[in-house]
């Protein structure tokens, strides 16, 4: 073999080795194998599909990974999840920190989210255990929604024979709806429930009116979900008739608030 061919083969082999080394380094860096880490534990009654190697985030920042999941020895025991967390984020982990299993998006992979604790609480020691919040069970929520839909359907059928009873049920539902609307900006569960209720009402071809809407963001979300009308403090507080007439009369000069 000529020297030129030997040089080409040597360069090819050297390039392959370098690429392999770079790949190993990138994988190790992604899994924080070259960073100083410490072990932290959390316990759950159910792990909702969490797997070994899942990301761990502390206060929303990538902090490590799930190293192992210890299976409980009895039905009354809990899964013990071992996490490797970067040392530079350890000061945020306190005994009152709360770990929870989250979805990366609606259908994304599971990851572990650990909230930072308070200044007053001691730091979690090496191998210590933080508090935990059980994962949100979508299946259980859907079962409750189905039960709620059945209840609403029965109520609608009974309206003809008991208008007063139906109005009372509507009033109670409205109070619950106000709580859901207040949380719709920040709570995924509230958004899922409100969307399901809107679809149910559209199925019986009724106009959808959302009350107690306080912010433009809440109104935008509700309109995007298909809500026909929104009302509440997002436009104006309650007022007497003369105040309302003055308010509407000055709308053009004052400038109207636009909600998508």
Rounded to whole angstroms, the Cα distance separating 234 from 258 reads 10
Q: Which residues, at least 6 apart from 53, have a Cβ–Cβ distance to it below 8 Å? A: 31, 65, 66
**102-116, 158-172, 176-190, range with greatest mean pLDDT:** 102-116
Query: Cα–Cα distances in Å, from 259 out to 142, 190, 217, 234, 238?
Result: 31, 21, 9, 9, 19
Calculate mean pLDDT across residues 3-23. Answer: 66
pLDDT of residue 260: 47
Confidence grade of residue 43 (pLDDT, cut at 50, 70, 90): very high
Confidence grade of residue 139 (pLDDT, cut at 50, 70, 90): low
Confidence grade of residue 184 (pLDDT, cut at 50, 70, 90): confident
Q: Which pLDDT tens digit goes with each residue over 105-137? A: 766 788 999 998 899 999 999 999 999 998 876
- Is the pLDDT confidence value at 54 over 70? yes
Dihedral angle over CA of 114, 120, 95, 83, nearest 10: 40
What does the domain layout of the chain look like in residue ranges? 37-133, 138-254
Q: Which pLDDT tens digit goes with each residue over 67-100? A: 999 999 998 999 999 999 988 888 999 999 999 9
Rounded to whole angstroms, the Cα distance separating 119 from 97 reads 11
CATH tag, 138-254 = 3.20.20.450
Task: Please tell me the pTM assigned to this model.
Answer: 0.44
């Amino acid at each position: 073999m000529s020297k030129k061919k030997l040089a080409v083969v040597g360069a090819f082999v050297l390039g392959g080795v370098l690429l392999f080394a770079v790949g190993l380094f990138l994988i190790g860096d992604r899994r924080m194998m070259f960073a100083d880490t410490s072990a932290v534990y959390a316990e759950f009654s159910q792990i909702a599909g969490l797997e070994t190697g899942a990301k761990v985030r502390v206060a929303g920042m990538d902090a490590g990974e799930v190293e192992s999941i210890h299976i409980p020895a009895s039905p009354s025991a809990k899964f013990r999840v071992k996490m490797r967390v970067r040392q530079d984020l350890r000061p945020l982990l306190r005994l009152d920190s709360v770990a929870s299993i989250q979805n990366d998006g609606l259908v994304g992979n599971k990851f572990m989210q650990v909230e930072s604790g308070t200044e007053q609480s001691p730091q979690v020691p090496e191998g210590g255990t933080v508090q935990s919040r059980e994962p949100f069970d979508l299946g259980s929520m859907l079962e409750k929604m189905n039960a709620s839909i059945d209840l609403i359907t029965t109520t609608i059928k009974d309206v003809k024979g008991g208008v007063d009873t139906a109005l009372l049920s509507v009033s109670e539902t409205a109070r619950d709806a106000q709580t859901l609307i207040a949380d719709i900006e920040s709570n995924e569960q509230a958004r899922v429930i409100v969307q399901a209720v809107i679809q149910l009402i559209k199925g019986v071809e009724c106009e959808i009116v959302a009350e107690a809407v306080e912010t433009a963001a809440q109104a935008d979300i509700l309109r995007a979900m298909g809500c026909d009308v929104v009302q509440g403090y997002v436009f104006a507080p309650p007022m007497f008739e003369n105040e309302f007439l003055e308010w509407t009369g000055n709308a053009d000069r004052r400038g109207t608030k636009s909600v998508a």
